[in-house]
Chains A and B, each alone.
Chain A
Amino acid sequence: MTITNETATNEADKSSKRGQVAMVFDLNKCMGCQTCSIACKVLWTQEQGEEHQWWMTCNTQPGKGTPKDWEQMGGGIIDGQPAKGHQPTRAEFGGGWDFNYEEVFYGGKGRSTHLHPIDKGDKTTEWGMNWDEDQGAGEYPNSYYFYLPRLCNHCTNPVCVTACPSGAMYKRHEDGVVLRDESKCQGARFCMEACPYKKIYFNYVRDVAQHCIMCFPRLEENVAPACARQCPGRLVFVGDPEDKSGPIYKLVNEWKVALPLHPEFGTEPNIFYIPPMSPYSLKEDMSIDYETPRIPPEYLEYLFGPQVHSALGKIQSELKGVREGNSSEILDTLIVYNWLDLFGKYTVDPGTLDRSPEKVAVTLGATRKN
């Protein structure tokens, strides 16, 4: 997809207060089904040069993730200064493979070889967006893992915007979505270096960088982003983080049970996570060790910062109260009795929108006009 100012309304009324759309992912509900990833892939990254791009990903933790070892690649803001980062390479993202369909299905070798990615010598077959699925960590019977969905954090301090020399990147005034005007992008990729979450991709065919646009054409029609609306686990809240009556404000600011990923990266993400609760460990005799959670707390602190302990403590306390017969607004909110309660004002069914070719072409931009 090509994003230009024709498609993204950049020039909002700057005198109004800056808006922001935020999301909260409840990791206790995520089953790693990749429906979010596929919903995004199908909608946005099916064109040439986008084969390896997964603006939405869901990885098993602990793990190396995507791109491989992204947490060790630097970037972000340290002591108020943009920090040097590594630009993830095509090989570190991996994926986007071509397969030997011709050989297996039409080349008479269906019984002597198997379907596999074609190795082009560029190491892209040595990793992929979900390469270390379900590996996790720990030793039986105390092995553990959980899933971590990730997209662009549409940060309050988007260091990718700071790093862009050509002025192609900007944070949209009305909703805080971080976008790139591809007609200005020169393919320099300082944004990829600077982003500490490594959620920016490069299109090697069109010579421009690309990343999650938070489904802004859907937001403009009050439709929730595809990753959120398609989630079978119904675990993704979408909305205005400043709306004090909304679930995101309460989860993040009031109850403080939703946390940003790697807050030490310094960019103030607008994607938050309810950290995963852990089963208890088992002792050698297979009895339950009530003192030791199976997911090491220090690992969760590594991901979500020191606030993770009080966040988990709060949720555990609420659970205890409910088991004792009390009610809990926090747990009721996280249970989501009514699916559309997840989406704030973004509850419009996309199936009800005008999908005429003329309308879709204007919404999606120059590439799909052709």
Chain B
Amino acid sequence: MELKTVGESPLNPSSSVWSEVSKEVIKLKPVPVDAQPNQYIRNAYKDTPYGNVGEVSLSVAEHDNQVFVRLEWDDSNEPNIEFQDAAGVFFPESGSSESPETIGTKSNPVRLWMWKNRTELQSGLSNSTDLISSGPGVFHPVEGSQSVNAEASLSNGKWSVVISGGKNIVEGSRKLGIVVWDGSNNERAGIGAVSSNWIEI
């Protein structure tokens, strides 16, 4: 997929810049229950349907040494006050041949840029986090990082989200994975939908 250079920051998902960038539909599937990081989650979710979001529309662009990843997916579910919709894009270390479906492993962690929809109560929190992921839900913040940003809008039952971060993170492997959590289905951590193949950019 082409990493198109654009003339202005396209952090706003409604930016007209995105009309110049090609889209690709990416299929998602539930993060494997067997790969969940502990016995509690494996036991509790083996018979619980999750991974509600089956596909996303993906676009990628770069501007001023920043990479911008735009995701769009259908979501007509009623919001859940307990869990919020969220999405992430993640990048492997150079040379890693592991599947993206576990969002990294202990031996091959990935860099995860995560957007989370914030409630009114959480207005003091950032909607984006720069994380190291070494498995489904095994997320640890990159200390002191302020390099990830996100903007999102929900309109006509469709989320449009742009997540951005430093191009240097992408340059190593030049491929990415996608994870989406449907808050209305109590999805979070490793309970979500993930791309089963790396997307080359």
Residue ranges of A at the interface with B (Cβ–Cβ < 8 Å):
49, 81-85, 87, 89-90, 122, 159, 162-167, 183-184, 186-190, 193-194, 202, 204-207
Please tell me the number of chain B residues within 8 Å of chain A, measured between CB atoms. 27
Among A163, A184, A206, A207, contact of B40 (Cβ-Cβ < 8 Å)? A163
Q: A89-B82, A207-B122 known; A188 and B137 CB under 8 Å?
A: yes
A122 touches B41 (CB 8 A): no
A165 touches B122 (CB 8 A): no
Among B82, B140, B190, contact of A184 (Cβ-Cβ < 8 Å)? B140
B82 touches A166 (CB 8 A): no
Q: B70 contacts the other chain (Cβ, under 8 Å)?
A: no
* B147: A residues at CB distance < 8 A: none
Q: B51 contacts the other chain (Cβ, under 8 Å)?
A: no
B121 touches A190 (CB 8 A): no
* B39: A residues at CB distance < 8 A: 81-82, 162
B24-45: contact bitstring with A at CB < 8 Å (1 yes, 0 no)? Answer: 0000000000001111110110
Across chains A and B, the number of contacting residue pairs, with CB separation under 8 Å, is 79
Among B40, B136, B139, B188, contact of A159 (Cβ-Cβ < 8 Å)? B40
* B125: A residues at CB distance < 8 A: 206-207
CA distance A190 to B37 in the complex (A): 12
Query: CB-nearest residue of chain A relative to B123?
Result: A205
Q: A162-B38, A165-B189, A188-B189 known; A205 and B122 CB under 8 Å?
A: yes
B43 touches A186 (CB 8 A): no
Chain A nearest Cβ from B148, distance in angstroms: 15
A204 touches B119 (CB 8 A): yes
Among A82, A90, A190, A194, contact of B81 (Cβ-Cβ < 8 Å)? A90
CA distance A224 to B44 in the complex (A): 37
Query: CB-nearest residue of chain B relative to A206?
Result: B125
Chain A nearest Cβ from B112, distance in angstroms: 11
* A186: B residues at CB distance < 8 A: 137, 139, 188-189
The A-contacting residues of B in range 139-167, CB under 8 angstroms, are 139-141
Q: B7 contacts the other chain (Cβ, under 8 Å)?
A: no
CA distance A85 to B138 in the complex (A): 20
CA distance A346 to B136 in the complex (A): 42
Query: CB-nearest residue of chain B relative to A194?
Result: B40
Among B37, B38, B82, B116, contact of A90 (Cβ-Cβ < 8 Å)? B82
B188 touches A189 (CB 8 A): yes
B43 touches A165 (CB 8 A): no
Known contacts A162-B39, A165-B138; can you find 8 more A-B pairs with CB under 8 A?
A: A90-B82, A162-B38, A164-B38, A166-B138, A184-B140, A190-B41, A190-B44, A193-B40
CA distance A84 to B48 in the complex (A): 10
Q: Which of A186, A187, A194 has the most CB of B within 10 A?
A: A186
Chain B nearest Cβ from A238, distance in angstroms: 30
A183 touches B141 (CB 8 A): yes
A163 touches B38 (CB 8 A): yes
Query: CB-nearest residue of chain A relative to B47?
Result: A84
Among A85, A183, A188, contact of B188 (Cβ-Cβ < 8 Å)? A188
* B137: A residues at CB distance < 8 A: 165-166, 186, 188
* B121: A residues at CB distance < 8 A: 49, 204-205
A165 touches B41 (CB 8 A): yes
Q: B95 contacts the other chain (Cβ, under 8 Å)?
A: no
Chain B nearest Cβ from A51, distance in angstroms: 11
CA distance A164 to B189 in the complex (A): 10
CA distance A81 to B188 in the complex (A): 22
Chain B nearest Cβ from A324, distance in angstroms: 52
